[in-house]
Chains A and B, each alone.
Chain A
Amino acid sequence: MLDGMLLGLETAFTFQNLFFAALGCFIGTIIGMLPGLGPMSVVAIMIPVSLQIGDPSTTLILLAGVYYGAIFGGSTSSILINAPGVAGTVSSSFDGYPMSQNGQAGKALTIAAISSFSGGTIGVVLLMFFAPALASFAILFWSAEYFALMLLGLSAVSAFAGKGKVLKAVMMTLLGLMLATVGESSLFHAPRFTLGIMDLQSGINFVTLAMGLFAVPEAFFLAIDKIRSKKSSSKKSQEISNLRINLKEAKAIAPVIGRQSIQGFLIGVMPGTGATIASFLGYAVERNLASPEEREEFGKGSIKGLAAPETANNAASTGSFVPLLTLGIPGSGTTAVLLGAFIALNLQPGPQLMQDRPEVFWSIIMSMYFGNIVLLVLNLPLVPYIARLLSIPRSFLIPFVLFFAMAGAYIGQNNATELLLLLGFGVLAIIFRFADYPLPPLLIGFVLGQMFEDNLGRAIRNANGIEFIWERPMTLTLILTAAVFILIPILRDWQENKSSK
Chain B
Amino acid sequence: MKKLAKMMAVAIASVVLSAGSLSAVEIKKIHFLIPGGAGGGWDGTARGTGEALTKAGLIDSATFENMSGGGGGKAIGYLIENSKSNHGTLMVNSTPIVIRSLTKVFPQNFRDLTLVAGTIGDYAAMVVSKNSPINSMADLVAAYDADPSKTAIGGGSVPGGMDHLVAAMAMEAAGKDALEVKYIPYDAGGKAMAALLSGEIAALSTGFSEAVSMEKAGKVRMIAVTSSERVDAAPNAPTLIEQGYNVTFVNWRGFFAAPDLPSNLRKAYIEVLGKMYKTPEWEKVRARNGWVNIYNPGDKFMVFLAEQEKVIGDLMRELGFL
Contact = CB atoms under 8 A, between A and B. Distances in A.
B138 interface: no
B217 to A, nearest CB: 3
B190 A331 contact: yes
Nearest to B191: A272
A352 interface: yes
A201 B69 contact: yes
Contacts of B70: 184, 191, 198, 201-202
A142 B103 CA distance: 30
A184 B71 contact: yes
B223 interface: no
B218 A350 contact: yes
A113 B310 CA distance: 59
Contact of A328 (B67, B74, B214): B214
B158 A202 contact: no
Contact of A461 (B69, B184, B187, B213): B184
Interface of B: 38-39, 65, 67-71, 73-74, 77, 100, 103, 105, 149, 152, 158-161, 182, 184-191, 193-195, 197-200, 213-214, 216-219
14 contacts: A143-B184, A189-B71, A189-B160, A199-B69, A202-B69, A202-B70, A271-B190, A328-B218, A329-B194, A331-B194, A353-B217, A461-B184, A462-B182, A462-B200
Interface in A434-484: 454, 458, 461-462, 464
A335 B39 CA distance: 11
A189 B185 CA distance: 11
Interface in A341-360: 343, 348-353, 355
A272 B190 contact: yes
A329 B193 CA distance: 7
Contacts of B74: 198-199, 201-202
Nearest to A187: B185
A348 B189 CA distance: 15
A327 B100 CA distance: 33
B69 A186 contact: no
Given A44-B38, A186-B158, A199-B69, 20 more contacts: A139-B194, A139-B198, A142-B199, A143-B200, A183-B69, A184-B71, A187-B158, A188-B159, A189-B71, A201-B73, A202-B68, A327-B197, A328-B217, A329-B194, A349-B217, A350-B217, A351-B217, A461-B184, A462-B152, A464-B149
Interface string A162-185: 000000000000000000000110
A138 interface: yes
Nearest to B67: A414
A266 B71 CA distance: 34
B195 A336 contact: no
A340 interface: yes
A141 interface: yes
Contact of B185 (A184, A186, A352): A186
A330 interface: yes
A353 B218 CA distance: 8
Contacts of A348: 213, 216-217
A189 B187 CA distance: 12
Given A201-B69, A464-B149, A272 B182 contact: no
Nearest to B152: A462
B217 A337 contact: no
B191 A198 contact: no
A54 to B, nearest CB: 15
Contact of A186 (B187, B214, B217): B187
B217 A461 contact: no
Nearest to A270: B194
A463 to B, nearest CB: 9
A139 B131 CA distance: 13
A189 B105 contact: yes
A323 interface: yes
Nearest to B150: A462
Nearest to B129: A139
